Amino acid sequence: MSSPFTNEAAVEVPLARAPLVKVLVQLRFPTIAKIDSIDAIAAFQEQMGASYPILRQEQHVPLLPVGVVPPPAQVFGTVWRMTSADGTWMVVLARDFVAMETSAYSSRADFLQRWGEVLGALSPAGLAPAVFDRLGIRYIDRLAEEELVNDLAQLVRPEMLGITNVDMPTGSSMLVNVTQTQFRIDGLQLNASWGILPAKTIILQGVDPVETRSWILDVDVFKEEQGTFDAASVVALTSEAAKRAHEFFRWTVTEEFLRRHGGDV
């Protein structure tokens, strides 16, 4: 791909050892006060069936930039978290948003189908918003093996390496170098962060830090524009955003990257 924004068809290559650590999607909408009600969440849980049997009431912690931790004394409101039995899928519902996240992403089609089920459960439970304000999907990839971090020049395009591509003296290593940038493409915005992080750096609440330095690619595609809520339309918009995120990922990585993660190229 000559550019991540040329609308070239990005061939999807399934990766047996995908470096994805988390995929999240969130729909924000004007406040629906009754979502705080146990009766309302019970109706929603009933619609979701047995897919998310574990329900917990917790405090909301917002998504923050890489490495930023919220103040411990700050309270952000109550949310309902519904989790799959194995803990790899989670649905979060609050007064002003619904979200889904997973650490077991297998394909875009599977993810969108599950997201459609979540959105489709809102109306029968009496919790569907009239409009929504923001839709976003976020993919977080991480290379944590020292061998992979050392071989970045073979795995990532030169445009993404910057000073990371500088030769280091024997016994030396780059500890941290993160680039953040934002694009607007066809009504969508794409925020991307990538680079080397030191050991034990928090990427996102709920994602365990690693004991070694790592390289991350964090791509967040979103639309901040009020729209009429319709589950099928929101899924279609999510699909469009996911394709943009995938195009950026495929442009970023090399065929060697795909091969080392089990891709057939």
pLDDT score at 174? 67
How many CB atoms lie under 10 A from the CB of residue 190?
20
Q: Pick the last residue of a domain from 106, 137, 168.
A: 137
Rounded CA-CA distance 205/34 in Å is 27
Query: 159 and 131 in one domain?
Result: no
Do 174 and 78 lie in one domain? The reply is no
Q: Which residues in the chain land under pLDDT 70?
A: 1, 7-9, 59-77, 164-165, 168, 171, 173-174
Distance of CA 75 to the CA centre of its chain: 23
pLDDT of residue 61: 54
Among 137, 171, 190, where does a domain finish? 137
Q: Is residue 151 located within the same domain as residue 241?
A: yes
Assign residue 63 the CATH number of its domain: 3.60.90
Boundary (domain end) residue, out of 75, 107, 137: 137
Distance of alpha carbon 119 from alpha carbon 114, whole angstroms? 9
How far, in Å, CA of 141 to CA of 71, rounded? 26
Cα 215 from Cα 149, distance rounded (Å): 6
Q: Return the closest-CA partner of residue 29 out of 119, 109, 89.
A: 119
Residues 176 and 106 in one domain: no
Domain count across the chain: 2
Domain range for 171: 141-260
Going 225 to 229 to 231 to 233, the CA torsion angle's sign is negative
